[in-house]
Amino acid sequence: MKSLAGVYLKSDIEESNEGGRTMFPFMLIFPDKRRIYYLKSQEDKTMWIDAIKQTIGYANILDFYEVKETLGKGKYGTVKRAIHKHSNKEVAVKLVKKKDLSIKDLELLRREIEVLKVCQHPNIIRFYDVFENQDYIYIVMESLSGGDLFRYL
- Please identify, in words, the CATH class of the domain defined by 62-152: alpha beta
Q: What's the pLDDT score for residue 1?
A: 63
The H-or-E segment that residue 110 falls in is helix 103-118
Neighbours of 122 (CB within 10 A): 5
Q: What's the pLDDT score for residue 148?
A: 65
Statement: the pTM of the whole predicted model exceeds 0.85: no
pLDDT in tens, 16-49: 777 778 899 998 888 778 889 999 899 999 999 8
Widest CA span of the chain, in angstroms?
66
Mean pLDDT along residues 78-93: 94
Amino acid letter, residue 120: Q
pLDDT at 68 over 90: yes
